[in-house]
Structure 1
Amino acid sequence: MARIDFAPGGLNPPHTHPCGIEVLVVVEGTLLVGFVTSNELNNTLFTKVLYKGDVFVFPIGLIHFQLNIGNTYALSFSGLSSQNPGLITIANAVFGTKPPMSADVLTKAFQVDKKVVDYLQAQFWYDNN
């Protein structure tokens, strides 16, 4: 289990647990949650606004997020179906790799200019210690 505290506007960014299902319970506040289906299901986005006492299930391996849309702090608890569900934060995995992923790959994959890729990669710092 994990406790997740959200400041107003706080985000648990898009991520996935490749080896576990997540069940989220809202204890305080208001969260916008969502997940994206697989390519076979047209990458459909499912979202829901959750309030105190609501529960939501994120299917195994699907990209999902939680955003505090309220004006107060929010608190939730997540239970995972595995001792080692894994965690892949999407932006970190794509734009924060060490060494950096090739700009040629990223510009083609995201159909954006190299300046955009350079900007996004620069948002991640590297600890060389």
Structure 2
Amino acid sequence: MTMSGINLLFLAILAVFASLLADAYDPNPLQDFCVAVNDSDAAVLVNGKICKDPKTVTADDFYHSGLNKPGEIVSQYGSKVSLVFIDQLAGLNTLGISIVRIDFAVGGVNPPHSHPHASEILLCTEGTLYAGFISSNPSNPGDKNRLFAKILNPGDVFVFPKGLIHFQYNLGNDTAVAIASLNSQNPGVVTLSKAVFGSDPPVNPEALVKGFQLDIEVVRKLQSLTWIGNG
């Protein structure tokens, strides 16, 4: 056998072993449930949370109430996001799902943000919402990021792909409500204004002047404000 033939044979054998190893990996849960332990003393560095002893699990570990009640709107955004993520419902651990309720005052906005770990499907249940997301940077630097947006009425649904910047704005004359489901127990939230202008420690203002094409005094003013997330 020639050297090139030996190399091809070696690569073929390597590919077979790689496929066997891939088949041996099971990304799905290998037990009925893994209710999270919220005891900080029991914390370990894992991708998620460690499991409670199944013998001590009860129905309460899978139960959360209150999404029927309006959230108290106190933020400058005029909206309130009521989360049911892993920290609010331990039974979500390893299940890859979560849910939120969003309440909007008239003119309220859920500001531009992204979920690094999840896609989202949003159902408008009350009022009128303007909802949309922005595509990632196109391959041609001269092309613009695309906006995909719709006006939603009760019963309408809109989807936000994983990791993309999105928002909702109440453009109606009454309060509005939406329910959103996400395909992660901990979707993560990056509120753009808070992340960019409210980081600790602050981003060097000169970098933001260049990055946002703003005057230095505008950047310093924005960095002096109190920025919050919406959750």
Identity of aligned residues (%): 54
Counterpart of 2:120, as a letter, is E
Partner of 1:10: 108
Determine which of 204, 209, 216 is the counterpart of 1:107. 209
Determine which of 11, 31, 46 is the counterpart of 2:148. 46
CA contact (8 A) 1:95 1:124 kept: no
Partners of 1:71 and 1:45 lie apart in 2 by 24
Determine which of 66, 79, 95 is the counterpart of 2:168. 66
Using structure 1 for the length normalisation, give the TM-score.
0.94
Unaligned stretches of 5+ in structure 1?
Answer: none
1:20-78 CA distance string (max 9 Å, x none): 01100000000000100000264111111000100000000000000000010101100
Determine which of 21, 25, 29 is the counterpart of 2:127. 29
Higher relative contact order, chain-length normalized (CA < 8 Å, sep 6+) = 1
Q: CA deviation at 1:125?
A: 6.3
- In 2 relative to 1, CA 44–84 (structure 1 residues): closer, same or farther, beyond 3 Å? same
Using structure 2 for the length normalisation, give the TM-score.
0.53
Q: Equivalences for 1:77-96 in 2 at 5 Å?
A: 77-96=179-198
Which runs of at least 4 in structure 1 moved beyond 6 Å after TM superposition? none
Residue correspondences, number: 126
Partners of 2:227 and 2:125 lie apart in 1 by 34
Partners of 1:23 and 1:16 lie apart in 2 by 13
Unaligned stretches of 5+ in structure 2?
Answer: 1-98
Structure that is richer in helix per residue: 2
CA contact (8 A) 1:21 1:61 kept: yes
**Higher Rg of the two aligned structures:** 2
